[in-house]
Amino acid sequence: MFFKFLGPKIFGDSVSIPDILDSIPESGIRRLFELASRQKDVISLGIGEPDFDTPQHIKEYALEALNKGMTHYTPNNGLKILRDAISEKLKKENGIDADPDKNIMVTVGGNQAFLLALSTFIRPGDEAIVPSPYFVTHAAAVRLVGGTVVEVRTCIENDFRVVSEDLKKVVTSKTRCIIISTPNNPTGSVLKRKDLEEIADIAVEYNIKIISDEVYEKLIYDGAEHVSIASLNGMSDLTITVNSFSKAYAMTGWRLGYVVADPATVAKMTKFQMYLAACPVSFVQYAAARALQDPRSRAATESMRQEYQKRRDYLYKRLSNVDGLVVNRPMGAFYMFPRVDFEDNVFAEKLLSEGRVVVVPGSAFGTYGRGHVRLCYATSMSNIEEATSRIERFMRSLRK
């Protein structure tokens, strides 16, 4: 007997991956970029990656590794020197005590971690609670392993911070995890310590795991505090923390991230990795280990952060005054997620064809992204200035 389960077919306990793949929609982000590539003089606030180059000293560490002949496979869980450096960083900056041999695994970007982690404990029919709007990979990874995504609404009025009461209402006997992202993509929201304590209480009470996506931890504004939920009481064994070198060090193309979790989860993920990528690129791992120990890296991250904050301030100030937009003040990452009170796909297509600005329709990020668009300010100030002027003109034309 088989039955339809959110699209894919499930046979007894086995899930058909081809059917799941067919059921997952193509990214709404990609479609817009295809449209944009056919038009001239377009400013993109679409792509979610740093516009800065990787700091020079990190590139030099990679060259040093190549010259030393570090061109071979590494252990499946990553180079020991990198796991050691990550462990030190976690202790110093995140209040997390992690054994480099048991609790840490290096991954091919943060993105790879979600599928690997979820595949260690999600079975067909299990539920993962995901505050929505969400980062696209979170939901896709849950579906790919045969799980069900249970969306919980977050809204602009509460700065897109999830309310623990809302989480509690959807916990069932099938709930296995909650996936949080702070700072958040696509909204830029940052969860406060109190929010995280309340989420931790739910995890402990119902014995469910938290997957905590912290890839934007360094990009945080106005003196807000980044809190790692794994550092809270009783949470170290219940939390799978995901981090990455992509955003903090402008290293998206280097594809390097890491996971911190309990030993059993790390062991299973490492087994999966053996058959998947074997390991992340060896000389990239070496460069990252050295980068973590080099004070120049912290300085480089801080100067990028300051620049993002300037851009956010500018964008927020100008867009706050535009009729027809309800703007949030993002506290982290490099995204703003205004409400447009318009069907978001139509809005984004019209803004592209008439205003020549690329933004991403909010519905690409789940049910509760509808009626919003994502603006990424990881682009030059002059682009942001011109894009805002175009958006202002476009919004005036909409109201005529």
Ligand X SMILES: Cc1ncc(COP(=O)(O)O)c(C=O)c1O
Q: Which is nearer to ligand X, 15 or 177 (CB)?
A: 177
Segment interacting with ligand X, rule: CB under 6 A, options 17-25, 105-113, 220-228, 260-268? 105-113
292, 294, 300, 303 alpha-carbon torsion, rounded to 10°: 100
Using the rule CB under 6 A, which residue among 44, 111, 120, 363 binds ligand X? 111
- Cα–Cα distance measured from residue 221 to residue 310, given in angstroms and rounded to the nearest whole number: 10
Q: Residue 195: CB partners within 8 Å, gap ≥ 6? A: 161, 162, 164
**Under the criterion CB under 6 A, does residue 241 sit at the interface with ligand X?**
no
Decide whether 36 or 108 has the Cβ nearer to ligand X: 108
Of residues 46, 48, 147, 361, which one binds ligand X by CB under 6 A? 48
Of 94, 185, 297, 328, the one binding ligand X (CB under 6 A) is: 185
The distance of closest approach from Cβ of residue 217 to ligand X in the complex, given in angstroms and rounded to an integer, is 11
317: which 2 tokens?
A: 């100030």
Q: Is the CB of 143 or the CB of 356 nearer to ligand X?
A: 143
HSE (side-chain half, CA atoms, 13 Å) at 20: 18
Choose which of 28, 50, 55, 109 interacts with ligand X (CB under 6 A). Answer: 109
Dihedrals φ, ψ of 181, to 5°?
-140, 115
Site for ligand X in 253-292 (CB under 6 A): 257
Binding segment toward ligand X, per CB under 6 A, in 167-175, 244-252, 294-302, 323-331: 244-252
For residue 351, give the nearest of 380, 393, 309 by alpha carbon. 393
Residues in a beta bridge with 210: 178, 239
CA pair distance 31, 210, nearest whole angstrom? 32
Stretch in the footprint of ligand X (CB under 6 A) among 65-73, 108-116, 222-230, 373-381: 108-116
In this structure, the dihedral spanned by the alpha carbons of residues 307, 313, 318 and 322, taken in order and rounded to 10 degrees, is 130
Closer CB to ligand X, residue 181 or residue 282? 181
Nearer to ligand X, 137 or 388 (CB): 137
C-alpha pair distances (Å), 42 with each of 278, 330, 388, 393: 40, 24, 13, 15
Closest CA to 8 of 149, 175, 151, 177: 149
What are residue 189's phi and psi, to 5 degrees?
-75, 155
Q: Does residue 379 belong to the site contacting ligand X (CB under 6 A)?
A: no
Minimum distance, C-beta of residue 399 to ligand X, in the bound complex (Å): 33
Token pair 């310590």 is found at 193
| Nearest distance in Å: CB 92, ligand X | 21
- Asked if residues 325 and 149 have their Cβ atoms less than 8 Å apart, the reply is no
Query: Least distance in Å: CB of 55 to ligand X?
Result: 17
CA distance 50 to 335: 11
CB of 133 to ligand X, least distance (A): 11
Q: Are residues 355 and 390 in contact, defined by beta-carbon separation less than 8 angstroms?
A: yes
Q: What is the largest CA-CA distance in the chain?
A: 65
Measured from each CB, the residue nearest to ligand X is: 109
Q: Is 46 in the site for ligand X (CB under 6 A)?
A: no
> With binding defined as CB under 6 A, does residue 244 bind ligand X?
yes
Please report whether residue 212 would count as binding ligand X according to CB under 6 A. Answer: no
Burial of 69 (0-12, 13-18, 19+ CB in 10 A): exposed
Size of the site for ligand X (CB under 6 A): 13
Stretch of 1-9, 109-117, 163-171, 345-353 contacting ligand X, by CB under 6 A: 109-117
Extract the tokens encoding 175.
Answer: 């709930």
What's the rounded Cα separation, in Å, for the pair 135 and 122? 19
Nearer to ligand X, 187 or 355 (CB): 187
**Residue 301 interacting with ligand X (CB under 6 A):** no
Q: Which of 215, 259, 287, 348 binds ligand X (CB under 6 A)?
A: 215
Q: CB-wise, 10 or 130, nearer to ligand X? A: 130
Cα 145 to the center of its chain, rounded Å? 19
212 or 356: CB nearest ligand X: 212
Binding residues for ligand X, rule: CB under 6 A, are 48, 109-111, 135, 181, 185, 213, 215, 244, 246, 252, 257
